[in-house]
Amino acid sequence: MKIGIFGGTFNPPHLGHYRAVLAAIAALGLDLLYVVPTKAPPHKALLHGTPNPEARYRMAELLFANDARIVVTDLELRRSGLSYTVDTAEAIRAMHPDAKLYLLLGTDMFLTLEQWHRPEELLQIVTPAVFARAEGQEEAIGQQADRLRARYGVETVLIDHVVFEVSSTELREALLRRQGAELVGDAVYGEIVRGRYYEVRHAPEWLMAQVALRNPKRVAHTAGTAEEAVRLAKYWGADVDQAREAAILHDITKGLDQAEQLRLCEKYGMMPDDLERENQKLLHAITGAGEARAVFGAGDAVFDAILYHTTGRADMTLLEKVIYLADYIEPNRAFPEVHRLRELAYMDLDAAVLYGLELTAQELSAKGRAIHPRSHEAVEWLYRR
Ligand code: ATP
């Protein structure tokens, strides 16, 4: 049996890791490959804010999920102290005493191998298998292979593969600029956003695509709301990114029927009151906020803006007012009072929200429907201001 060991910080894992691993499995004819996320790397200082080892482990699991030959192991997560590869290699040898073990390494790691903890013991257990990380590294790899052969009597295997030049360091910088999603794949990217790692948020275009997938009929209204929300946010000094995100997601669950809405309420532990339970328009604000947070990684401000976008509430934040009004006056809206409401929205934000609440109250009263107490509280609060 041939087994590969591939350790890394995986901060985050990326397609460079994935492709290198597939190339190694094919080149070496591996039956099994252990991916080993490192808990405390001895040679790499982890920056403040680095996702914890469990989070890096989870991301690695997602990256390598689709291949039964690859097992992501928590061997190093379970050990205390610095994570030495020699300890991991010993543990794997104990589990598979008859297997041939290969240690998979990119050039950078291979060239520093002798500085690792107890290299001679490590090299008695494993055979190094190296893949270049950039073109033109063959000579340096060859020289290091010669040195290791001379010193430790070990034969290095060079894995022939198509170089994929990406590193976690570069990737983190790209993620900060909202780029690089294609270098980690959808599953890992989703996890990064949900976990709010690397200050990543979904690109607005991707969020809009999710709206289109779930509810094509809402695309025009959603795009209009986002446009208006950005305009209002810029005008009144609210956070433009949050406004755009909340606007795009505000109706994300609107296409769901009542039973589905109630299931989501339960899933997210957000219990609707009696009025909300019976009213689709109120329910979608609750479930929209829940989905925005759980599925799309929205933060608290965006969550609240979605949660209160239909009823308003006392003590509304600037962002909540922006989303409430953007939904009401976006360019596709065409009811008689919308012109007055649009004017007010750019003159006196509170007065505009108040007018909006009153218009809704009139409409509901005319239909003999109840007004949610939160809207009453919002009106009273706005009158007091
Ligand atoms: P950093 O930017 O911090 O150096 P990294 O991208 O090297 O991160 P690690 O988790 O430290 O990621 O790498 C684990 C292993 O994967 C190392 O052996 C490394 O050399 C190798 N590796 C990383 N990226 C690539 C790549 N693009 N191609 C081949 N091997 C890679």
**Residue nearest atom 20 of ligand 1, based on CA coordinates:** 106
Q: Is the dihedral of CA 216, 177, 199, 60 positive or negative?
A: positive
Do residues 12 and 198 lie in contact, with contact meaning Cβ atoms separated by under 8 Å? yes
18 lines ligand 1 (CB under 6 A): no
State which of 133, 175, 188 you would mutate to test the pocket of ligand 1, scoring each by most atoms of that ligand within 8 A of its C-beta: 133
3-state secondary structure of 101: strand
pLDDT tens, position by position, for the chain (385 residues)?
Answer: 999 999 999 999 999 999 999 999 999 999 999 999 999 988 878 887 789 999 999 999 999 998 999 999 999 999 999 999 999 999 999 999 999 999 999 999 999 999 999 999 999 999 999 999 988 999 999 999 999 999 999 999 999 888 888 999 999 999 988 789 999 999 999 899 888 899 887 889 989 999 999 999 999 999 999 999 999 999 999 999 999 999 999 999 999 999 999 999 999 999 999 999 999 889 999 999 999 998 888 989 999 999 999 999 999 999 999 999 999 999 999 999 999 999 999 999 999 999 999 999 999 999 999 999 999 999 999 999 8
Q: How far is the CA of 133 from the centre of ligand 1 (A)?
A: 8
Do residues 294 and 194 lie in contact, with contact meaning Cβ atoms separated by under 8 Å? yes
| pLDDT for 176 | 84
Length of the chain (residues):
385
CB under 8 Å to 244, separation ≥6 — which residues? Answer: 204, 226, 229, 230, 233
Q: How far is the CA of 370 from the centre of ligand 1 (A)?
A: 60
Q: How far is the CA of 187 from the centre of ligand 1 (A)?
A: 19
Do residues 111 and 71 lie in contact, with contact meaning Cβ atoms separated by under 8 Å? no
167 lines ligand 1 (CB under 6 A): yes
Phi and psi of 169, rounded to 5°? -60, -50
| pLDDT for 213 | 93
What string of DSSP letters covers 147-190?
HHHHHH--PPEEPP-------HHHHHHHHHTT--GGGTHHHHHH
For the CA atoms of the chain, what is the radius of gyration?
28
9 lines ligand 1 (CB under 6 A): yes
133 lines ligand 1 (CB under 6 A): yes
Q: How far is the CA of 131 from the centre of ligand 1 (A)?
A: 10
CB under 8 Å to 67, separation ≥6 — which residues? Answer: 22
| pLDDT for 365 | 95
| pLDDT for 203 | 82
